[in-house]
Amino acid sequence: MAAWLNKWLLLTVSPLFLLLSGNLPFHIDPVSRPPVPHPFHVSVTEINHNASEKTLEISCKIFTDDFEKVLAKNYKTKVDLINPPNKAAMDSLVKKYIFSHLSIKANGRPVQFSYLGFENDHEAAFGYIEVANIPSLTRLDISTSVMYDMFDDQMNIFHVIVNGNRKSTKLNYPDKETTLSF
């Protein structure tokens, strides 16, 4: 746990220190979209079992610039998640990408995702998904290749909450599968 916490602090504090110290490896032009330094490639997926609604509430957080690059590469189109000229077209790309790179089995059974939408928050894009008809959850099998088609140093972190019990795990490229039991 201590090693994981040290890595997490290093990954989150180092870019902040660079920003505050002014020792950035680039010039920021306030008129254009400023680059965001992140010397690592990571996504964070949060899965919450909502027992009263019998749903899995899922959010996938990916650095916006990286996500735009992989969407443009895979779907051969111009991508702008920050100021989309056509939000429906961007929704379609985000949905298509997440659905083809993330799969889940709840209690040993494949689930059907319902796409709710995406939003952008500064440096990160969030894709929102829901899974209906999950009255209880004892086991969650996750398979992912999110951003593996762009980066061979990709890390995908998962936080899963069931009955107030939170478990976290991570998958580093090329590992694609993990199982959590509750």
Per-residue pLDDT tens over the stretch 121-173: 979 999 999 999 999 999 999 999 999 999 999 999 999 999 999 999 999 99
Provide the pLDDT for residue 10: 43
The backbone torsions φ and ψ at residue 52, rounded to the nearest 5 degrees and listed phi first, read -70, -35
Domain assignment present for residue 34? The answer is no
Provide the pLDDT for residue 92: 98
Residue 8 within any structural domain of the chain: no
For the chain, 182 residues long, give each residue's pLDDT as a single digit of tens: 444 434 444 444 444 433 333 434 333 344 455 555 567 899 999 999 999 999 999 999 999 999 999 999 999 999 999 999 999 999 999 999 999 999 999 999 999 999 999 999 979 999 999 999 999 999 999 999 999 999 999 999 999 999 999 999 999 999 999 999 99
Note whether residue 106 is domain-resident: yes
For residue 99, what are the domain limits? 39-181
- The answer as to whether 100 is a domain residue is yes
With a CB cutoff of 8 Å and minimum separation 6, the contacts of 120 are 64, 81, 82, 126
pLDDT for res 39: 76
What pLDDT score does 122 carry? 79
Domain membership flag for residue 13: no
In a domain, 127, yes or no: yes
In a domain, 151, yes or no: yes
Q: How many domains does the chain have?
A: 1
Distance of CA 155 to CAs 7, 143, 152, 178, Å?
Answer: 12, 13, 9, 13
In this structure, is residue 116 part of a structural domain?
yes
